[in-house]
Amino acid sequence: MEHAAREHERVRRLPALGRLAAVAAIIGTALSIALFFYALKEVDQYRRDHVEAAADRAAAVLQGRLEALEDAASAVDALIGASAEVTPQEFTLFVEHILPLHPGLEMMIWAPRATSGSQPAARYAAPIHASFDPDAAARLLVPVLEGTIRSAGRPSLVMLPGSGDRLTGVPGDVIGVIIHRPGGVAGPDGAILSLARSEHLFAFDAKSPVPARIDLAIADESGAVLHHAGTAPTAAVTFTRPLRFDGRSLEATIRSTSEATPLETWGPYLLLVVGLGLTATFTAMLRGAKRRAQDVAALVASLAEANDELSRRVDERDIMAEALADSAAKYREMYENAIEGIIQCIPDGRLLSANPALARILGFETPDELLATCQNLNAEVYTSPERRQTFMERLESEGVVRGFESEIRRKDGSIIWVAESGRVVRGSDGSIAYYEGTVEDITERKEAEAALRLAKEQADLLFRAKSEFLANVSHELRTPLNAVIGFSEMLKNELFGPLGRPEYVEFSRDIYDGGNLLLALINDILDMSRMEAGKKELAESLLDVGRVAETCLRLVRGRADDNRLTLVTDLPPSLPPVRAEERSIKQIISNLLSNAVKFTREGGQVRLSARLEPDGRLLIAVTDTGVGIAPEDISKALAPFGQISTSWGGKNEGTGLGLPLVRSLVDLHGGTFRLESAVGVGTTASVWLPANRVISPAT
């Protein structure tokens, strides 16, 4: 591991090789680009010098050709001046003699000046072409002669555009040199014309030492262009060279480009490519050297890490082997000491393995005894083979079954109940290999369930008997009680005359109040018994909760006035009607109001309110400022016959059935009842009738 770290550190500290490769790449690229532009510049200068030299040579050639034309004209002039009469044969022989000595010269013409009123005519012309008309040439030359003569004996250059077909027989422009011989000097008066076609005089063939692509313009001293022709491109190099003709200046403007050789064209690019290639090769060599060094170091480090990892895995394997041994021992201990039986068996009922708990459940001493004795679990242990078959079918279809209860037979023949949980273990081909799971002895639980079921049945019988007894007793008590209430009312009201003493009237009133209290108790007991027995049925109708509440208020208003209590109502006239039993709603509101009045001190307040909740339920609430109930006593107050002792010394009469009866009636309507109270603060009893009993205006 340390060796690998050293190799990584050595590679990390070799950035100089990478920087050297980067510097080499930058310098090599810069040099290659610089050499490329330098080569382009040198090639361009070389070509420019080459064109300039060619222009000099072209000017020299043109100068020579002009001088040759001038020499030819001067030679003919000397011939004419030497003799007063020259025959056409002599003129032709002389001209044919000098033509080879003057390149570009095609024809010589001698034309005397025409007399007044006569047409000009050529005297001599050589060589004669088949299509040449000497008289037509004379008529063409004389106007030119008249317009171009400057001084006697001085040659002049003239341009005869489009006259080649009449003078030389070949279409094109003609360049001529005219020498005027005025009369009286030496020889006759006339003019000598040396003719040459411009395409021969100013053109250069492939053998000439000038560029093949040239643009040439010849202009005289006045700037008039005597000749212009060429094929040079627009981007050609331009040079201006002077020409001399008999002491007068002409100007030749030469524009030309030299045809670059492939080496001149591609040489700079080849140099750039070679330079960049050498730079890339050198840089790649440096980077390859660095990469190889890194690969070697990484390989060494990897081998070191692999060695360390191998050592670590060997240590981990040893630790894992110890852990597996400990785990196997723990699981074996759990298997041996498990409370539930653990089983593995194949579908035909043969046991594969069993733990000691399973052996104890089946009445055997050891698992080995169980495996040796029980050959077919399905037939020998289960009291109902059909039940076992159902368990196996569920295992095959569902894969896992939990809490399947069956009766089995122990070794001693006793029958017990067990709960089995198991799963299917399948082989690689998908077939069932075996079942495995747990077995729990639930005999005691089944016996407890049977006892509980029996106790419930007995309790139901007792409850029904109690309900019937209460109903019968209530019915039997009502008949004499009605008589007691009726006669006591007659006595307290003295219907048949005075009783004689005031005490008798007071005693009659007490009998009357006690009878009514006892009758209310009997009615409450009868209602509770009916509801507990499930025989209470609601006679539902549409009722106005506000009207029912006002009726209930009238029932308690007298007692509230006796106790100097304030009754407050909050019953909006817009309350919707509800579908309920009117008698039950009256009982609910009356009982809540009676409790509130009963447990509120003098000067207190009792409030009855009703409103429609946002969720559509109807809320009826009774709030008082009475003695209140401790939170831990609320459950007792809601239990039948529950009596809560208070520190208030007021008369606490009642049976303890009011609040339980209210809750039962609310539950019967599908509503919710809640009691909230605090000692010394007061109590709020809230009843919510469900939204499905409230008749909304839309309905």
Residue 245 has pLDDT above 70, yes or no: no
Range among 106-110, 202-206, 370-374, 567-571 rated most confident:
567-571
Q: Return the DSSP state at 564.
A: T
Q: Return the DSSP state at 535.
A: -
Q: What is the mean pLDDT of residues 135-149?
A: 59
Q: What is the pLDDT of residue 150?
A: 43
Residue 408 has pLDDT above 60, yes or no: yes
Quickly count: other Cβ atoms within 10 Å of residue 340's Cβ.
Answer: 17
Give dist(CA 291, CA 284) in Å, integer: 10
Could you report the per-residue pLDDT of 210-242, keeping only the tens digit for each?
A: 655 667 777 766 676 766 766 666 556 777 878
Q: How confident is the model at residue 272 (pLDDT cuts 50, 70, 90)?
A: confident
- In the chain, DSSP finds a helix count (H) and a strand count (E) of 17, 21
The two three-digit tokens of residue 387, written as one number: 């039940």
Q: What is the pLDDT of residue 109?
A: 76
Q: What is the pLDDT of residue 621?
A: 93
Q: What is the mean pLDDT of residues 10-37?
A: 71
Could you report the per-residue pLDDT of 583-592, keeping only the tens digit for each?
A: 888 888 888 8
Q: Residues 6 or more apart from 56 whose CB is under 8 A from it?
A: 239, 241
- Among 514, 660, 651, 655, residue whose Cα is nearest residue 587: 660
The two three-digit tokens of residue 405, written as one number: 């209860």
Query: If 0-12 CB within 10 Å is exposed, 13-18 middle and 19+ buried, where does residue 653 land?
Result: exposed
Report which of residues 86 and 406 the model is more confident about: 406
Mean pLDDT of all residues in the chain? 76
Contact at 8 Å (CB) between 592 and 555? no
Tokens 């033509």 correspond to what residue? 99
Residue 124 has pLDDT above 60, yes or no: yes
Give dist(CA 327, CA 342) in Å, integer: 18
Tokens 């307040």 correspond to what residue? 605
The two three-digit tokens of residue 645, written as one number: 């002792």
Q: Is 419 helix (H, G, I), strand (E, B) or coil?
A: strand
Q: Return the DSSP state at 603.
A: T
Dihedral (Cα; 461, 462, 463, 468), 10-degree rounding: 90
Residue 88 has pLDDT above 60, yes or no: yes
Residue 433 has pLDDT above 70, yes or no: yes
Residue 395 has pLDDT above 60, yes or no: yes
pLDDT cut 90: percent of the chain above it: 7
Q: What is the pLDDT of residue 151?
A: 45
